[in-house]
Amino acid sequence: MEQVKVLTSTTSPFAARVLIALEEKGVKYECQEEDLPFNKSDLLLEMNPVYKKVPVLIHNGKPICESLIILEYIYDTWGSEKFLPYDRALARFWADFADKKLLESSFRIVISKDEAQEQAKRDMLENLQFLEGALKDMSKGGSLPFFGGKDFGFLDIALTPYVSWFHTFETTGNFKIPFETEYPLLDAWIKRCMERESVKKILPSSDRVLQTGLEIRKRFVVD
């Protein structure tokens, strides 16, 4: 019998994408919540000695680390989809973009103030515009519901956990992300994703995420 365990943290968007993928594939798994960042378990340190962070997928005793690598592993192990090489490369590109460009600019909002924070907001809005364009191209102008086309796929799972953090970015940055007017395709995509049972089950509430965001901000900013 397969043994699947995930080392996770409630508000981690990276851990959330792994759990959503397992839910979508119908894989039975066990979770171990890690008390981060200062009280990491012996199992986490053993399974991920290089980065010492979540998520870690442990499949039959063997660890797989880094969330996008784990997502690919889940699709290769339990998925039935057949990806064309270009489609796979495109999904990888935009998932990597989100983890680098979008995440970096978004978290600068949380940990900065004054002009540095204003620049971070401008950068994040620009990065959302790039994603709006990618969704337009990949969904045939919005005629298909997801980045994965008709199906809620790899890239959708990679991006959805960021949704629970938008309230935190808006609150710490004291602004409103204009989804309805500037990013209508993303706005509709978010609403569809939030209706999925896997997403409802896994994503933490915006208020819970905000609590984490404010704790992070206290470490970096004196308001």
**166 and 196 housed in the same domain:** yes
Q: Which domain holds residue 69?
A: 4-78
**14 and 36 housed in the same domain:** yes
**121 and 138 housed in the same domain:** yes
The CATH number assigned to the domain holding 68 equals 3.40.30.10
Q: Mind listing the pLDDT tens digit of every residue in the chain (223 residues)? A: 789 999 999 999 999 999 999 999 999 999 999 999 889 999 999 999 999 999 999 999 999 999 999 999 999 999 988 888 999 999 999 999 999 999 999 999 999 999 999 999 999 999 999 999 999 999 999 999 999 899 999 999 999 999 999 999 999 999 999 999 999 999 999 999 999 999 999 999 999 999 999 999 999 987 6
- Asked if residue 213 lies in contact with residue 109, where contact means CB atoms within 8 angstroms, the answer is no
Helix, strand or coil, per DSSP, at residue 30: strand
**95 and 36 housed in the same domain:** no
Q: Which of 30, 22, 23, 24 is nearest to 4 (CA)?
A: 30
Q: At which of 27, 55, 78 does a domain end?
A: 78
**64 and 119 housed in the same domain:** no
- Asked if residue 160 lies in contact with residue 193, where contact means CB atoms within 8 angstroms, the answer is yes
Q: Which residues of 185-204 are buried (b: 16+ CB within 10 A; e: fewer)?
A: bbebbbeebeebebbeebbb
**103 and 55 housed in the same domain:** no
Q: At which of 78, 104, 128 does a domain end?
A: 78
Neighbour-count burial of 77, counting CB atoms closer than 10 A to its CB (0-12 exposed, 13-18 middle, 19+ buried):
middle
**123 and 188 housed in the same domain:** yes
Q: At which of 63, 78, 93 does a domain end?
A: 78
d(CA 34, CA 18): 15
Q: Which of 95, 57, 92, 94 is nearest to 77 (CA)?
A: 57
Q: What is the pTM for the complete model shown?
A: 0.95
pLDDT at 38: 86
pLDDT at 81: 83
Instruction: Please provide residue 33's backbone torsions phi and psi, each rounded to the nearest 5 degrees.
Output: -75, 130
